[in-house]
Homo-oligomer: A and B are copies of this chain.
Amino acid sequence: MIFSATVQVTLRPGISDPAGSTIERSLPTLGFDGVTDVRVGKLVTFTISATDQAAARAEVDDMCRRFLSNPVIEDASVSLEQAAQAPA
């Protein structure tokens, strides 16, 4: 089975986010007011082939922990969706 996976990697609360702070400081000079708490993260999308949804989720969770995020400072949230089946 083929799944589309979306992994959102965000900095943990309390970890300083210089990119987010820079965006937040810049927005008022461009005329955008009322924006706060800007945080910048990464978005990784891919397709994964696995025997079932549980196997796909286990593999993606393992990838997140070992490769796609730094668990010390980042949280990863995974969403999986079954892709259209290839014709038999």
| Residue ranges of A at the interface with B (Cβ–Cβ < 8 Å) | 8-10, 20, 23-24, 26-27, 30, 32, 34-50, 59, 62-63, 66-68
Contacts and interface: CB of A to CB of B under 8 A. Distances in A.
Q: How many copies does the complex hold?
A: 2
A33 to B, nearest CB: 8
Given A26-B67, A67-B26, A67-B27, A32 B59 contact: yes
Nearest to A6: B8
Contact of A23 (B36, B44, B49, B50): B44
A11 to B, nearest CB: 10
B43 A47 contact: no
Nearest to A5: B35
